[in-house]
Structure 1
C-alpha cells in the first residue's frame, strides 16, 4: 500500500495551506526531482555544460531505461524531447502524406494535434476527419471501423482528453487501424504517470508524453516512443540524429535517436529520469490507484452541491475531474478558489474544439488530484466550491 505520509513529506509544495489540484497541468515535483535539476545546474556553473554532461552520461542513458521500464519499451525506441507536443509533431510530420490520403483524429483531440493535422492537410492535399464518439463519450470503435480504408495513413488517438476524465479504448482502436496498415500515434500526455501503459499491449506505432504532468517531472521535458521496426525519416536532422559520412552523404540514426537534437536541457532530462525512477520506486500501480480513488471521491462529492455538474464522460475514468458551476464563469471560480490557496485550472473550448462545441460548453473547470493530495484537502476544496454558491 502506498505510504501517503511519505509521499507528502517528499513533496515540498504540499502543506502550508495549499490544496493542489492541477497535476493535469503542471504537477508538484518530489524533492528528488528538484534536487537533481538544481545539483546539475550548479555543476554546470562550476565546470561548464559540456563537462557536466560528460560526467552524467550513464545517468542520461538511465533516463531512457527508466522510461522503458515504465511503458514496457526498449530504451533504444525512446527519444527524449522538450514536450509532448514536440514529440507528437516530430513523429506526425515524418509520416509521408500526399493528395487523397486521410488523417483520422479523435473527437476530443487536443488543439495542437488538430492544428498540425490541418496544416499538413493544406500542404499535401490530405484530408482530416474526426472519429465520432459513442453514446458514452469515448471513441466509437464501430464508427472507426466503418471509416477505415487504405487511404487512411495515420490515426491520431487520445488516451485521456485534456478536458475530462475518460479513458479511450486505445488497443481496440489500434487493431482496427492496423487492418489497413494505418499508423497509430497516441497522445499519452494525460495518461503517462496516472495509468498503466504497456506499448506492446496497446500496439501503437508511436506515443508522446510530457514530464510535467502526472510524472511530476520538470517543465520542458517529454519523450517519444517509436515502434522499433518503423523506419521514418524526420523532417529535421542534425549531427545527433544523423551522421555526416561523406561530403554529399549522411546516415540517419537507426534507433529513436533520429528524433532527437544534440542540444538539450541536460538538467531537465536528469530531472525527468529522477521523476520516473521515483514513480517506479513507489510502485506505479499503487500511485495509479491513489489517483483514481481521489478522482472518484470528487466525482461523488461535487454533484451533491446544488448547481455543480460533473462533465466527465466515458465508460472508464481517469484522474481528471471536469465540472461547471451554474451562474459562474469557470475562470471566475478558478480565481476565487486561488484566493484561498486552492489551485486548479480551466479547460477552454479552443483546446478541444470539436468535443466542447458538440456538448455546448465554453469551458470546464479541471481538478486533477495526485497521490500527494490528502482527503481533508479534497474536503476543503469541495467546501470552498459549495461556499461559492
Structure 2
C-alpha cells in the first residue's frame, strides 16, 4: 500500500473494536488489536479447548512458524534468526545474560536515553566491576556518533542503544552506530521497542547483533509476546542460562544448544498469543511500513503544531526538527504527567506518562520528574487529534 487515505483508515478502524470505545493515543504503551488478531487467538484457544491443548499444539506450531516467517520479513532476516519471548525486557535480559560473566574493567557504553529495564539488567555486571558509561549527546539530544567513536577501545564489550526512547520523539542514529560497532567488532544491542511497526527496521542496514521489541506496541499484537533477533554469526557467542528440551535438545550423547535463535526459547509457550502475533504481523506487512511512516509523520506534525499553540504546554521532545518519532512528550503547567493521564482517561482519551524510572539517565539530566506522552498510530484520525487538543486546551484553562 503506497499511502493510507481516509477510506483505508476507516476500514482499519472498522475492524478494530477498540476504536468504537476509546480515543487511543497510547500506542507506544500498547496499541489496539484488530478483530483479525482477536479471531486468530480465539481460534487457537477453541482448538485447545475442543481437541486438547497438547493435541492442538500441532496446528499451533504451524501458526508459530508462520509468525516467525513474518517477523523475519519485517526485519529483513532469516527465520532462524528470530526467537519469541514473553516481553521485550525478558528478551533483552536473556540476550545480555547470555554474554556470560563480566570482568573488572570491561566497559558498557549506553545512550543517555537507555530504557530503565535494560539498565537494571546491567547492574550485576557493574557490581562485578564492569564500567557503565554514557555516550554524550549531540546538539539535538541524540547519541553523538563522533563522541562514541572517541570512546572506543579494546575494553568495550557492549554498545547498547534504545533506538526510539520511551520519553519523547527522538530517533537515535542506530545505523551509524552499528557501522562503528561492526568496524570494531563490538557486540551491539538495539532496543527497538518503540520502533517495530512504526519505522523500517532492517537489521542488515542496522548492523546490530541483537534487536528486541514487544508485540503489544506498534505491532498491535497481544501482550505477553516479543521478538528477539540474534545475528546468525553472533549466536555462538551467546550461551543462555535457562535451558530445556527445546533450547538444548538431547543429541544422543548429551544436551547441546540449538544452532538457531530458538536456543532462547522454551518448549512451554502460549500458542494462543503467538497465533495473534502472527496475524498482527501479517496485517502490518500488508499495509507496509512506507505508508505507515507517512501517515504517522503527518499526524505527529499536526499534534506538535497544535500543542505549541496551547498555553502552559511545553514540548519535551529531543531530536532534530525533521526527524522525530510518533512519541510526543510534553508537560502541562500545574499537572503531573500521571495525573494528566488519569484525567484524560476519565474523559475517554488514552495517553501515556513516564516517570524517572523508565528513562532515568535522561530524565535526571533534563531535570524532569514526569512527562505526559502522546503516541500516535496510523489509524488515529484527524478528528481524534482535534478532540485531544481541545480537551488539553480546556485543562490548560
Task: Look up the SS of the partner of 1:49 in the other structure.
Answer: coil
Note if contact 2:317-2:330 (Cα within 8 Å) is conserved in structure 1: yes
Aligned counterparts of 1:121 and 1:239: Cα–Cα separation in 2: 32
Residue pairs, 1:353-368, within 5 angstroms = 353-368=360-375
- How far 1:115 sits from its partner (Å)? 0.9
The corresponding residue for 1:174 is 178
- Greater Cα offset, 188-197 or 3-12: 3-12
The corresponding residue for 2:19 is 14
**Runs of 4+ with deviation above 4 angstroms:** none
The corresponding residue for 1:297 is 302
Unmatched runs of 5 consecutive residues or more in structure 2: none
The corresponding residue for 1:275 is 280
Which of 213, 236, 247 is residue 241 of structure 1 equivalent to? 247
Residues 13-70 of structure 1 show CA distances to partners (whole Å, capped at 9, x for unaligned) of 1034x21000000110011111111121121111121111112332221111001111
Note if contact 1:150-1:181 (Cα within 8 Å) is conserved in structure 2: no
Task: Look up the SS of the partner of 1:384 in the other structure.
Answer: helix
Note if 1:286 corresponds to 2:280: no
- How far 1:178 sits from its partner (Å)? 2.6
Which of 117, 129, 132 is residue 112 of structure 1 equivalent to? 117
TM-score, reference length from structure 2: 0.95
The corresponding residue for 2:134 is 130
TM-score, reference length from structure 1: 0.97
Residues 185-242 of structure 1 show CA distances to partners (whole Å, capped at 9, x for unaligned) of 0000110000001000111011001100000000000011000111121122111001
Task: Look up the SS of the partner of 2:112 in the other structure.
Answer: coil
Note if contact 2:61-2:271 (Cα within 8 Å) is conserved in structure 1: no
Which of 197, 205, 216 is residue 193 of structure 1 equivalent to? 197
Task: Look up the SS of the partner of 2:242 in the other structure.
Answer: coil
Residues 157-202 of structure 1 show CA distances to partners (whole Å, capped at 9, x for unaligned) of 1110011111100111112223332100000011000000100011
Note if 1:100 corresponds to 2:105: yes
Note if 1:319 corresponds to 2:323: no
Note if contact 1:81-1:223 (Cα within 8 Å) is conserved in structure 2: yes
Which of 78, 85, 99 is residue 74 of structure 1 equivalent to? 78
Which of 206, 213, 217 is residue 213 of structure 1 equivalent to? 217
- Greater Cα offset, 169-178 or 260-269: 169-178
The count of corresponding residues between Structure 1 and Structure 2 is: 386
The corresponding residue for 2:269 is 264
The corresponding residue for 1:50 is 54
Note if contact 1:349-1:357 (Cα within 8 Å) is conserved in structure 2: yes
Which of 331, 334, 342 is residue 341 of structure 2 equivalent to? 334
Note if contact 1:14-1:372 (Cα within 8 Å) is conserved in structure 2: no
The corresponding residue for 2:387 is 380
Note if contact 1:164-1:312 (Cα within 8 Å) is conserved in structure 2: yes
- How far 1:246 sits from its partner (Å)? 5.0
Note if contact 1:7-1:371 (Cα within 8 Å) is conserved in structure 2: no
Aligned counterparts of 1:171 and 1:372: Cα–Cα separation in 2: 28
Task: Look up the SS of the partner of 2:55 in the other structure.
Answer: helix
The corresponding residue for 1:158 is 162
Note if contact 2:327-2:373 (Cα within 8 Å) is conserved in structure 1: yes
